[in-house]
């Protein structure tokens, strides 16, 4: 677990690859999807911020409602994981974390503003808690070995981690003068580890929400043959997270985009959930550091109820280029 949810879990050694992430997501009431992601290179004193908004199937970056990616943003020694305000326009303040946060964003071009209040629906759960018994290793890109810049006396095996948390988000965003209300259930996460900028493992990070009635969160590694291997998951029911006993997922893709998702899940109490989602929006984007991500937003059905979800398919740019080049030859 992190040393706290307030301060960074800084390593004791000068590992320049050390990365701590802070991610919040939401949907507006019209279905526009929002991402606010910050990555802190705490031993370098710089941050990266990524703000995305999408409400349609975007064929290119220019078809997204909004995309702002800024790199190497300096921050001061007084910056904390639960209290930061960056030159890129994003600010987050816990009241206190990990129970509540205020998130504000002011885009550099004035096109997008966001004012959101985020409240926890559960305590954060560590990645070791959400492991699916018998599954393989997750795709989350932690690099536990020491970097080449470390002294020989350092093993570089500093504790790493990742926590997930389901939250309620309320507030509003204004895009190009149009105000959209926000009142939804969504996800946030936080991770800390050495993180290299290459050799990424392909896989999916998925979330499905039926208001506060049901949340399914999963991590799915992509096997060498392209088939999915769900490795981590939890169900949130009755305001309590439940471990997952059995889980299967089927992705129906056209190219890189996921048009349909089918989940069959049984939680630790024996309750079973069959969830089917159909794509309504999508975006493909080079996320920087050689990571290619396809975000697909879906309308889900479960026992006659309607919900919303997202699947995030991650891969490495260089690996995909090799496959494309091999296909051409």
Peptide bond into 98 cis (omega under 30): yes
pLDDT, greater one: 315 or 93: 93
Query: Domain spans of the chain?
Result: 18-328
Predicted confidence at residue 140, as pLDDT, reads 67
User: Which residues, 6 or more positions from 194, have their beta carbon under 8 angstroms from its beta carbon?
Assistant: 11, 15, 17, 18, 19, 142, 143, 144, 145, 146, 147, 156, 158, 160
pLDDT, greater one: 17 or 190: 190
Predicted confidence at residue 226, as pLDDT, reads 87
Give the whole-number percent of the chain exceeding pLDDT 70.
93
Predicted confidence at residue 14, as pLDDT, reads 74
* CA-to-CA separations, 77 to 28, 83, 163, in angstroms, rounded: 34, 12, 24
Task: Label residue 10 by pLDDT band (50, 70, 90).
Answer: confident
Q: What number is the average pLDDT over the span 61-81?
A: 95
Predicted confidence at residue 150, as pLDDT, reads 56
**Terminal C-alpha separation, the chain:** 48
* CA-to-CA separations, 33 to 220, 238, 264, in angstroms, rounded: 21, 25, 25
pTM score above 0.75: yes
Whose structure tokens read 């890109």? Answer: 141
pLDDT averaged over every residue in the chain:
91
Q: What number is the average pLDDT over the span 114-142?
A: 88
- How long is the chain? 329
Predicted confidence at residue 1, as pLDDT, reads 45
Paired sense of beta strands 83-85 and 66-74, if any: unpaired
Torsion angles phi and psi, residue 321, rounded to 5: -65, -40
Question: What is the sign of the dihedral through the CA atoms of 298, 174, 212 and 168?
Answer: positive
Is residue 228 helix, strand or coil?
strand
Model pLDDT for residues 138-197, shown as the tens digit of each residue: 776 555 555 566 555 455 556 788 999 999 999 999 999 999 999 999 999 999 888 877
Model pLDDT for residues 100-113, shown as the tens digit of each residue: 999 999 999 999 99
Is residue 158 helix, strand or coil?
coil
Q: What number is the average pLDDT over the span 7-16?
A: 78
Answer yes or no: is pLDDT of 122 > 50: yes
């Amino acid at each position: 677990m992190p040393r706290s949810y307030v301060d960074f879990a800084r390593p004791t050694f000068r590992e320049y690859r050390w990365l701590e992430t802070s991610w919040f997501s939401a949907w507006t009431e019209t279905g526009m999807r929002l991402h606010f992601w910050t990555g802190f290179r705490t031993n370098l004193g710089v941050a990266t911020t990524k703000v995305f908004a999408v409400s349609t199937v975007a064929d290119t970056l220019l078809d997204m409602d909004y995309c702002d990616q800024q790199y190497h943003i300096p921050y001061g020694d007084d910056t904390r994981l639960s209290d930061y305000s960056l030159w890129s326009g994003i600010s987050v303040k816990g009241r206190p974390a990990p129970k509540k946060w205020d998130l504000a964003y002011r885009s550099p071009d004035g096109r997008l503003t966001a004012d959101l209040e985020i409240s926890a629906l559960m305590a954060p759960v560590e990645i070791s808690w959400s492991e699916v018994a018998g599954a393989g290793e997750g795709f989350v890109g932690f690099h536990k070995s020491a970097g080449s810049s470390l002294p020989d006396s350092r093993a570089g095996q500093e504790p790493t981690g990742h926590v997930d948390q389901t939250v309620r988000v309320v507030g509003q965003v204004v895009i190009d003068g149009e105000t959209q209300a926000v009142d939804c259930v969504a996800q946030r996460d936080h991770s800390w580890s050495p993180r290299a900028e290459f050799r990424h493992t392909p896989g999916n990070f998925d979330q499905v929400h039926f208001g506060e009635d049901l949340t399914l969160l999963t991590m799915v590694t992509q096997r060498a043959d392209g088939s999915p291997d769900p490795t981590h998951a939890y169900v949130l029911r009755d305001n309590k997270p439940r471990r997952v006993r059995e889980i299967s997922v089927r992705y129906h893709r056209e190219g890189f985009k996921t048009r349909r998702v089918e989940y069959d899940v049984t939680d630790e109490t024996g309750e079973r959930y069959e969830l089917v989602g159909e794509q309504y929006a999508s975006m493909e984007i080079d996320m920087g550091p050689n990571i290619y991500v396809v975000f697909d937003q879906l309308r889900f059905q479960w026992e006659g109820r309607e919900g919303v979800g997202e699947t995030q398919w991650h891969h490495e740019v260089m690996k995909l280029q090799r496959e494309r080049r091999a296909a051409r030859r």
